[in-house]
Amino acid sequence: MKRLLAYAMALTMLFAVGTVNAQKASKKTKAKAEKTTEKKAKAETDNAHLTKSGKLDKRFKENKEAEKKEAKAAKAEEKKSAKKAAEETKASTAAAASESKATASRAKATASKTADQVDNGSKGPHGETVYTGPRGGKYFINKNGKKEYLSSLKKH
């Protein structure tokens, strides 16, 4: 049972990492393709706006400056969205890891409950069910899902 949970947790982590890497790769290829098409279009328009004397038209210069500002704004927005995506994936992997730990803890507690006998004659310090282990030790499951033996508790 423990091995099965460990394998499931490992597969979940691999799937999450693989998905993130695939998304990054597809974004990079799209960005490269867009940049090359933009460069080709700019080269064609640069030659079209030359005057007879070989100088650029004033309106064309103004348009170029506006395009540069737009490109800077687009890059800033792209960085912001990439950062947000990275934070979301980090949060989702952390949540998956904590969920798998909790599942493993619950499975461990359940396995120990079914293997050992319940001692109906006594209760834990906060009313927990007390179990008798295979070697006669009495314990209860604490709020963290761990075994806590009654003999280890300090008596006042």
The string of pLDDT tens digits covering residues 9-18 is 887 877 777 7
Mean pLDDT: which of 6-10, 51-55, 113-117 is highest?
6-10
The string of pLDDT tens digits covering residues 42-83 is 776 666 555 555 566 677 778 888 888 899 998 899 988 888
- Spatial contact of 147 and 139, defined as CB atoms under 8 Å apart: yes
Gap between the terminal Cα atoms of the chain = 39
| 109-124 average pLDDT score | 70
Rounded Cα distance, 152 and 149, in Å: 5
| 104-123 average pLDDT score | 70
- Spatial contact of 13 and 93, defined as CB atoms under 8 Å apart: yes
Check: pTM over 0.85? Answer yes or no.
no
